[in-house]
A and B are shown apart, each in its own frame.
Chain A
Amino acid sequence: MKHISASQLVMLLTIYIYSENAGFLISPIIKTASYNAVLAVILGGVLGLLIVLAGAAVARMNEREYFAVFGKYIVGKWVHIPLILLLAGYMLHRASMSMRNVEDFLMVNHLPTTPETVIAILLGLTVALTVRSGIQAIARMAEVIFFVNLLLLIILTPLLLGIELQTPMLRAFVTNFDLNRTAAGTLQATPWFGDAFVVLFIYPHLKQQIKIRRVAVWGAVFSMILILSYLVPSLLAFGPELAGKMTYPVMEYVRSMRIADFIETLDPFLTILYIPALMLKISLLVYAAVISLARILSLHDYKPLAFSVSAAVVGYSVHFADNTAELLYFMTAYWPSYALCMQLIPILYWFVAKIRGKGAAHPKAP
């Protein structure tokens, strides 16, 4: 059971945080924070990290059990079960939102004639199979995908720098400080990083000697570097106004790149390498939800639930919103506060446990 090593967890967290953010956070955050986007991402990363660390602190109270199980010793059974259901619901909602993002992205850019449902079913099948393969498989996939992405970044960076960037705009990052916009942007960015609190739900799978704080910090730092390496150039290339209006600024940025007039565009190629990372993120979310569900139903084997739950996620993703604009509006206006509320639930446990003193997370000795 204990088989995820520290390096695997760092890579998993990095993939988990960066994959979706690099694709779909950029536009909302530029819209809300404009020049302060960089600052907002950094602040959001730090705050998100705090949320993750709080979750990890709760998880460390009982290292052998799943949170879904030991939570009831802290707050009592009848408070715990609704909260867990709420959290599982949040994770599934989050998974559906990610999946809808991917679907829209693919629809708009690559497969305009394919029905959304078919794409959703294909993605759902992939997610369900991943969840069924278990957390060890997810962790190992993260390793492979991490290296592929790293390689990609190393190869692409020089190419991307060939695009004309308005470097004088860099000054505006410092001079154009606006407290309100930064705060709004931070609010936007925090839950995207805070999502990594899923560690709480898979904690029993981690190897015993893991230093969870260090791992979380590294994961956040790596993903922040990766996100900024997409955010800053696309901001410099298009400016905050234009980039804020675009749905996928990074995509547009990559699209404007040409390799010596030989390959016309690289973006489908990047999609190949990018989709697996997103699949992995969704899988981890669904896995965390499924394992929590299985635990409160005291099922020892979560596997038979994988397909059913993934099917719900697929259905939800298709009916999530009417169109991309609506989805983007929901993501910008409502989702951050909702997500923050959910992500702060573990902190509630933490406080209760602190008040009740040592041993709160363990069953009472008979």
Chain B
Amino acid sequence: MAVVFVLFLLIFLFEYSYLRSNKRKLRTHLIVYGIMLLSLAYNLAAAWLPKQLNPNLIIEAVLQK
């Protein structure tokens, strides 16, 4: 869990400095961080409940019908 946070902090710092140095619009910043948050949320959820939240289950459920 801690590893996930540290990695995402690194990614955030990296992308923040990249976006800053290229003088991007606020909208770009927001979208990038939004995607980053989604990814973080997914990673945390998967680490929390790897069994129940596996998207493969959806695929299997749909195909088994």
Contact = CB atoms under 8 A, between A and B. Distances in A.
Are A and B in direct contact (Cβ within 8 Å)? yes
Interface in B22-42: 22, 24, 28, 31-32, 35-36, 38-40, 42
A337 B7 contact: no
B56 A321 contact: yes
Nearest to A294: B31
B50 to A, nearest CB: 4
Contacts of A335: 59
A311 B47 CA distance: 13
Size category, B interface: 20 to 34
B35 A309 contact: yes
A293 B46 contact: no
Interface string B39-65: 110110011001000111001101100
Given A121-B7, A307-B11, A307-B15, A312 B56 contact: no
Judged by DSSP, the binding face of A is: helix
A320 B43 contact: no
B48 to A, nearest CB: 10
Interface string A208-226: 0000000000000000000
Contact of B11 (A303, A311, A321, A338): A311
Given A315-B46, A319-B50, A334 B60 contact: yes
Contacts of B28: 299, 301, 304
A307 B43 contact: no
B7 A320 contact: no
Contact of B42 (A121, A293, A312): A312
Contact of B54 (A117, A307, A320): A320
Chain B interface, >50% SS class: helix
Interface in A295-310: 297, 299, 301, 303-305, 307-309
A176 B12 CA distance: 58
A177 interface: no
B11 A308 contact: yes
A316 interface: yes
7 contacts: A299-B31, A301-B28, A304-B19, A312-B38, A312-B39, A315-B46, A334-B56
Interface of B: 3-4, 7-8, 11, 14-15, 18-19, 22, 24, 28, 31-32, 35-36, 38-40, 42-43, 46-47, 50, 54-56, 59-60, 62-63
Interface of A: 93, 117, 121, 293, 297, 299, 301, 303-305, 307-309, 311-312, 314-316, 318-321, 330, 334-335, 337-338
